[in-house]
Structure 1
């Protein structure tokens, strides 16, 4: 049953129905039997700004992670032409570059259960929602609601800026922003701060807004 609107997607300690309440607990329970092996295949987007001629580059990784589930449909309709697919990929690459930049800029903000602002701190879904709002996209409040509302994509299609959903017991307990090469930006849990960290489990799926 999905979490109610406004209810944080995980808490600071303990578990409910066997679901890890935050990243640290999920890692402790799952690391012993799961390994992430990125493929290392990457592509690079370069974007020039007019202000000062600064060159900004973002690496968009298509690393595939083994999640042990059937591969879902791609994010675009099968009937699209090659030109439509190419335009979609360009648009997503540019948009996700902005997502990744916004995610990095929040490094060091403290974790707080239920938090949705820089001043108060973030929980995992509060952080992801805040980042995506910066690029003009409004997401539901909790990680489970986000998983239900965004387009599911295969691991081979995942790129920086996409969403990563962490699963246990058939339910989502954590959400993060893909940083490429098997890493994510996220608000980990109580006592920690927003940071880039290696994905600690293969029980993940990817989503795209």
Structure 2
């Protein structure tokens, strides 16, 4: 796969990187990593900087990653909020992710700061990207956001429409599957739009076979 440049420089790159959330979920979640925020941005970079953030307007969720070890992180929050408001993305749902908690003193200091952050920002995630259990915690939070509007449904797939089976597994979480002489029965969990699309596809396939 492609490599992502990591450097302690002012905008080593203005490119965004898009990858699937791993471990992959159903439905698949794509994550776009954009540039960091900075106040007093050099005038020549303003247009390029903001153009990379246009994706935020189309995002269904924003992860705002903040350096928890930086004493001035509150100023970071202000700058980010200001820019997001400027581009019209202030209404997009957001999760604050306080990273680098492991850079904050000893375990006692880390626990104290984590408690403070949780009290101040109840829905935030406090973590270290170096700890697998923390990465898993963030992953769970992201997936939970996308699952909150999902519904459970039952789908019947006649044997003559089994070509749609892969679509069911690709767009929904299959909770149970049984079958009889007429076809397969699925109990699924997924987004309403995905389930409606599958239902229409099954109906269309059945109508075509019946002609």
* TM score, norm. by length of structure 2: 0.23
> Which has a greater percent of helix?
2
Greater C-alpha Rg: 2
* TM score, norm. by length of structure 1: 0.23
> Which has a greater percent of strand?
1
